[in-house]
Structure 1
């Protein structure tokens, strides 16, 4: 995964924040809430505080790329400015990857990215086409 900053994204704009896998509290994987629930952010913040870890939320400069594994805990802070935060984001995964049979709260709003697909289906949809097929070696 690698969002590209389309302009400078200072701290007050809420840049991408990532937490290394080895620092992610196990409790985050078992939270009984989803990102759509009102108290999600408070639950996540509480677990991170309790573990004593701090996600890296370094500001980004125009054109800077932040790369992390898609299953690495990541979020973005609140944009406290009047200027929209703009990035270009891409997620790459192997051809043939299937949608997990049991999406969790860490899966987020996965249906927004693969509309019309169900758990277990190949993760290829109009918003996530298979790319590079013409570049495969013979």
Structure 2
């Protein structure tokens, strides 16, 4: 028997407020990340997850065998800006519910989209090395945050995201791209400085938010099924573009910020306003 999906109610859920507790906000601001339970229903994750998975299969161009890939390529299939490919994916990416949580955690009046990306760690996919995302972003303020949304239960064997608590405020490793070197150097330095590592499974409906300078990694996927994750990167709506400091930031400036002038706000059509308290 075919089950009818009430797509209107699912879209409505994506726009309803999720109440972020003062304790969760304080935890995020202290530790640079937070995990929140029951943010999205199984029905929403199933409906939009099916669409996202089909887009990943359609748009993926990485066809090399696992043995032929680099460490970065073994970590996951990475498909970006799905919101520009499909209207249903756009509904998910533009979720007011998820964007408002990001604004609440950062303590800002609104957020714009930097970009979205699906991160699918295949069975036998490798570890994701220690890194900080904002190394890649030509943005002047640290008020950036990524929401990491598993589309299934994510036990340890699937490689859930792990966070180095309070690492968002330290200067170590800010000039290192994601690589075998970043894994080795940051693992050693984080251990030397006694950073607590939160490395725990994700329940279905649980999501995490981490700041742009928070160091994080993920283990390999030793299960027999893909670890399917969707992410959106938000930035303070009053963020400004900084002069690119490396070749990756040069590429991001062009690709995700429309080459808007240094010192200006990233207000191109690529960076829509997803939540504002003024509205």
Does TM-score exceed 0.5, indicating one fold? yes
Whole-Å separation in 2 of the counterparts to 1:5 and 1:84: 11
Match of 2:220 in 1: 78
Whole-Å separation in 1 of the counterparts to 2:251 and 2:206: 26
Cα deviation code 1:4-38 (max 9, x no counterpart): 22101111111111122268754333x5x322x54
Q: Secondary structure at the match of 1:39?
A: helix
1:69 corresponds to which of 202, 207, 211: 211
Unaligned runs of 5+ in 1: none
The normalised TM-score by structure 2 is: 0.38
Q: Which stretches of structure 1, 4 residues or more, deviate above 3 A after TM superposition? A: 22-26, 107-110, 115-119, 121-128
The structure richer in helix per residue is: 2
Name the larger-Rg structure: 2
Cα deviation code 1:67-91 (max 9, x no counterpart): 2323322222222234221122222
Whole-Å separation in 1 of the counterparts to 2:170 and 2:240: 26
Work out which structure has the larger RCO, using CA pairs closer than 8 Å and 6 or more positions apart in sequence: 1
The normalised TM-score by structure 1 is: 0.68
Aligned residues: 131
Match of 1:100 in 2: 242
Matching of residue 58 in structure 1 with residue 200 in structure 2? yes
Match of 2:191 in 1: 49
Matching of residue 19 in structure 1 with residue 150 in structure 2? no
Distance change >3 Å, CA 9–CA 97, structure 1 → 2:
same
Q: CA RMSD in A?
A: 3.5
The structure richer in strand per residue is: 2
Match of 2:233 in 1: 91
1:49 Cα offset (Å):
2.2
